[in-house]
Chain A
């Protein structure tokens, strides 16, 4: 395994971390208008992700930084080529992050309703667009010989990528519902379980469609295997949810999202961004990478600090392991 392979794997791991973690807080955000019946229940929902969402979002920042450091050509082509989708994701993440902090800062119905709208759209848009972006990465886009994107925005909205978007959206919504069932008490917990049942089936259909299409297009032995594991984990998670075993259900949806993400990277390998114009213009782990020296330094940094990050992030989840119910919310609100 070369350093380039290692860093390709590291980028995959960072996106796995991002989708598994922020996936459920996107899901909770999308479900915010549907599950709670009053303000106290809404506060329960926001409270489940309150302590962790910004730590989750840092996985994206780290993935972006690692991409820039390890594969500058990939970073440059991807981010400039996907200018508009990324712009929408950025705008959504901004209003969403601000909404978390600001919704409780002023006691008025209108104020909170507006921030809740921001939370909903700010969660829905990236949950959908990340699927579109990754669909296009796997499928390939039009790149010229300087690795510059020469396609149009509309070309990014092809059926395959749109299916990818719906898949990530449905999976994240289900993942969020399963998380809510795990972290709450009472009515919110029951409703979340029901939601997860229904959304889980829709997500399964979409995911099977999207991942199979991916395998037909770009599949390798490893990616097919990973896809099968992902779908099996999803099915197991949904069964566990049906029987009210919330911990296992969450584990199932988390593993499924992680494996599905890795299967996309496996299908991509050794390219990092194929060109649909000519395979000579494709970016791969060699021609997109930094020098071995930079990769080496980054490897040392990651080896030392990534375990540390995992350790203290796990500790956060341990500290906030208790369920939240409406009785934690003061009645005055």
Chain B
């Protein structure tokens, strides 16, 4: 139950966070454009997208507190075991990143008439840098769970021996750019969605055409970056967690070269494929960089781990890993592809007339969120049964003092509250995303309290 709770709250939190990371950057870019060129449309765009960013940031922030508290509340054994290593990046994240984001965001929202333009835009840059920094530290902490380094296990707890190694964990170094690119893709596609909504109706073209172009360039760059960083991450994963890459392909026996199946229909556990489309050697390439590389299979690894760590089942739930991996890649690529097509269609001063093109671009908004969630579920479920890979099992990590009743109560409360907030958030995003941008004021409002 504690797993479900952590899973649900984390996936929910991770719906908002990438958008906040990406959108803060795009808003900062738009405002910089305004400061440099003095063109009013950029200011209008800044205020329009800034409003959407704020709606989203609020939820990212408050759901983040839940994440930090939950380690202690539901996973006290885990916290006791890893605190010496895991706590430091978390504390540093708060001190370096959270203070930066939230303080400067307050200044940005209320500082339109109190700060000069340059200081004001620097506030948004501080927010953007803060969000990216926080992503780095939390991923460094998460990477310790994927590939623990820089510590010694004393039997009762993991004690830090090398903080530099924890921060430069090769999994963190490979994951961070991947998540950053995913965030840019998410923000790019969200911006594309609402721009397309307006452009498809030929409304506010002067604001949304530049917005759309910025969104598309971001989407395409991020899409290419995702493929590249994803590829390096897959190679690091092969070295660090071969079981995860084997589960991602449902590869039961070690193979050389190993194929990659685009699509499989099989029995539920995936042990017997009934129908599948395979690209020979592709998995070998993803995992090792060579088309004839050897990829270890689940059964072989299972035997090896059983020897090392005692009896037990060391494979994750394969269908989730298999489909999580594919859906992440598929949704991400599709979003980037739509961005690329639209970039071509809007070249020069062109704007396509066909309604269905705009409709596709609008509905593409679901893709990055699905891809993010799938990717997150894949990487966390793919690590099971471990909570800290090779060191501590998830089943042994929960709080022994917490009864089932407590967990059910909190799980219900979180699910209901998060569900309700999701409805409100989507409604507000829709209302403000489809509303006309704030045109009437030539200058920002002279009123700090208006933002509320």
* A residues with CB within 8 A of B: 43-44, 46-47, 50-55, 57-58, 60-62, 64-73, 75-81, 83-84, 86-87, 90-91, 93-95, 97-98, 100-106, 146-150, 290-291, 293-294, 297-298, 301-302, 305-306, 309, 312-313, 316, 319-320, 324, 328-330
Pairwise interchain contact B106-A316, C-beta atoms closer than 8 A: yes
Q: With A51-B110, A80-B401 in contact, do A61 and B76 touch (Cβ < 8 Å)?
A: no
Question: What residues of chain B lie closer than 8 Å to A316, measured between beta carbons?
Answer: 103, 106-107
Partner of B88, one of A73, A83, A294, A312: A294
Pairwise interchain contact A61-B83, C-beta atoms closer than 8 A: no
Pairwise interchain contact B79-A43, C-beta atoms closer than 8 A: no
Q: With A55-B99, A83-B406, A328-B447 in contact, do A68 and B107 touch (Cβ < 8 Å)?
A: no
Pairwise interchain contact B449-A105, C-beta atoms closer than 8 A: no
Pairwise interchain contact A54-B69, C-beta atoms closer than 8 A: no
Q: With A98-B421, A330-B447 in contact, do A65 and B87 touch (Cβ < 8 Å)?
A: yes
* B393-429 CB contacts (< 8 Å) to partner A: 399-402, 406, 409-410, 413-414, 417, 421, 424, 428
* B226-283 CB contacts (< 8 Å) to partner A: none
Pairwise interchain contact A291-B159, C-beta atoms closer than 8 A: yes
A147 to B76, CA, bound (A): 10
Any A CB within 8 A of the CB of B65: yes
Question: What residues of chain B lie closer than 8 Å to A58, measured between beta carbons?
Answer: 94, 98-99, 102-103
Pairwise interchain contact B98-A62, C-beta atoms closer than 8 A: yes
Question: What residues of chain B lie closer than 8 Å to A67, measured between beta carbons?
Answer: 87
Any A CB within 8 A of the CB of B448: yes
A213 to B448, CA, bound (A): 44
A324 to B110, CA, bound (A): 12
A291 to chain B: closest CB distance in Å?
5
Q: With A62-B94, A65-B91, A291-B159 in contact, do A50 and B106 touch (Cβ < 8 Å)?
A: yes
Pairwise interchain contact A102-B95, C-beta atoms closer than 8 A: no
Nearest to A105 among chain B residues (CB) is B428
Partner of B109, one of A51, A60, A77: A51
Pairwise interchain contact A90-B87, C-beta atoms closer than 8 A: no
Pairwise interchain contact B83-A290, C-beta atoms closer than 8 A: yes
Question: What residues of chain A lie closer than 8 Å to B401, measured between beta carbons?
Answer: 80-81, 148-150
Partner of A87, one of B73, B160, B432: B73
* B residues with CB within 8 A of A: 54-55, 57-59, 61-66, 68-69, 71-74, 76-77, 79-80, 82-88, 90-96, 98-100, 102-107, 109-111, 114-115, 157, 159-161, 163, 399-402, 406, 409-410, 413-414, 417, 421, 424, 428, 431-432, 447-452
Nearest to B85 among chain A residues (CB) is A294
Q: With A76-B80, A80-B402, A106-B431 in contact, do A291 and B107 touch (Cβ < 8 Å)?
A: no
Q: With A79-B72, A105-B55, A320-B448 in contact, do A68 and B91 touch (Cβ < 8 Å)?
A: yes
Pairwise interchain contact B76-A65, C-beta atoms closer than 8 A: no
Partner of B68, one of A64, A70, A95, A330: A64
Scoring B79, B111, B160, B428 by chain A CB atoms within 10 A of each residue's CB, the highest score goes to B79
Pairwise interchain contact A101-B58, C-beta atoms closer than 8 A: yes
Question: What residues of chain B lie closer than 8 Å to A91, measured between beta carbons?
Answer: 413-414, 417
A52 to B93, CA, bound (A): 19
Question: What residues of chain A lie closer than 8 Å to B85, measured between beta carbons?
Answer: 294
Pairwise interchain contact B114-A320, C-beta atoms closer than 8 A: yes
Pairwise interchain contact B452-A104, C-beta atoms closer than 8 A: yes
Closest 3 CB pairs of A and B: A72-B83, A79-B72, A69-B87
Pairwise interchain contact A87-B95, C-beta atoms closer than 8 A: no
A290 to B79, CA, bound (A): 11
Partner of B449, one of A55, A84, A324: A324
Partner of A75, one of B64, B87, B106: B87
Pairwise interchain contact A290-B84, C-beta atoms closer than 8 A: yes
